[in-house]
Amino acid sequence: MNIIEVVRSARGVLGGLAQQIPVVGAAAQRDRIDLDGKVVFITGAARGIGAEIARQAYAKGAYVSLVGRTMAPLEELAAQLGSRAAAFNADVSDFEALEKAAAATIAQFGGIDVVVANAGIAPPPDTLLTIDPKEFERGIDIDLMGQWRTIRATLPAVVENHGHVVVVSSIYAFFNGALNSPYAASKAAIEQLTRALRVELAPHGATAGVAYPGFVKTDMADSTFAIDHVDEARKALPGFVTDPIPVEQIGSAIIGGIERRSAKVASPWWVLPMLQARGVVTTVMDEFMIHNAGLSKAILRAEATHRDPS
């Protein structure tokens, strides 16, 4: 038995024990979700992971509500997909716009079964000493508050349909966030928020789960890795961690997690064992990063760009 099988069987035993505990109301409703005919509301659906989830959900027969701040690519994707797809305009910094997108989705498709809270940004890779405070706060506003607003705006519909919410966090929920702290703080916070949500939804017969992608080959990873000091920091870390996976891989992991109503979705292969052993992993990781000469150089180089922007 390899480590992944051990982790899976331990989770199976613990999950089975937990299911013996009596629960109130409709909490026992943990049936699988068949996406055929279901309505999936996705933020940040224009590109990257959001667009891939939309494509895969559509291929399984779902109605897809493509939500985002830039209409042209959303409309283009909706046209490529077909009549079960529609584009709706909402910036996740705007709660009312998200409420309107949810209402428009319900008006067009009859309800919302699944929410994929996915929209996110990569704030400038900088340190707490030198990051522009406005950039720090914008990171939190989109990557944490944007997820909260998405959840709140769609939750009444999800509860009504006993649906599922998947919140796209990241390995940064538990990775050290050096040079990436507003992002890491947001991803850790939305993990907490989603764990609470999963428990709060149980009496309603609905579910929620966290997705923990490693690095994924999208515009976000490409543009971040193109920055010199990030590339330097990346080279200081083990290659298997920083090699991006194809977007199709995380897309199918998240779709499978929705169908199983999973509490956790992790990809690539090494994320789940690290997640399960996070107490040890995070201690070792922090020490490794503190003593890593390449990373220290990258940090000082990031800070130096503020003294010499060229």
Ligand X SMILES: NC(=O)c1ccc[n+]([C@@H]2O[C@H](COP(=O)([O-])OP(=O)(O)OC[C@H]3O[C@@H](n4cnc5c(N)ncnc54)[C@H](OP(=O)(O)O)[C@@H]3O)[C@@H](O)[C@H]2O)c1
Q: CB 200 → ligand X: shortest distance, Å?
A: 22
Toward ligand X, which CB reaches closer, 119 or 155? 119
CB 118 within 8 A of CB 45: yes
Nearer to ligand X, 202 or 213 (CB): 213
- Closest approach of Cβ 137 to ligand X, in Å? 13
Six token digits for residue 292 = 């890593």
Query: Which one of the listed residues 58, 172, 183, 212 is annotated catalytic?
Result: 183
What is the rounded CA–CA span in Å between residue 239 and residue 115? 33
183 catalytic residue (yes or no)? yes
Instruction: State the nearest-atom distance from the C-beta of 65 to ligand X, in Å.
Output: 13
Using CB atoms within 10 Å of the CB of residue 120, give its burial: 0 to 12 exposed, 13 to 18 middle, 19+ buried: buried
What's the rounded Cα separation, in Å, for the pair 162 and 164?
A: 7
Residues that bind ligand X (CB under 6 A): 43-44, 46-50, 68-70, 91-93, 118-121, 142, 146, 168, 170, 213, 215-216, 218-221
Per-residue exposure over 54-77, b if at least 16 CB sit within 10 Å of its own CB, e if not: bbbbbeeebbbbbbbbeeeebbeb
CA dist 15 and 59 (Å) reads 30
Task: For the CB of residue 183, give the shortest distance to ligand X in the complex, in Å.
Answer: 7
Question: How crowded is residue 219: how many other Cβ atoms within 10 Å of its Cβ?
Answer: 10
Between 40 and 202, CB nearer to ligand X: 40
Please name which of 117, 185, 196, 179 lies closest in space to residue 154, comparing C-alpha atoms.
117
Task: Count helices and strands (H / E) in the chain.
Answer: 14, 7
Q: How far is the CB of 167 from ligand X (least distance, A)?
A: 9
* CA–CA distance, 65 with 116 (Å, rounded to integer): 10
* Cβ-based nearer residue to ligand X, 132 or 222: 222
Closest-approach residue to ligand X (CB): 48
| Partner residues linked to 87 by β-bridges | 66
Positions annotated as catalytic residues are 183
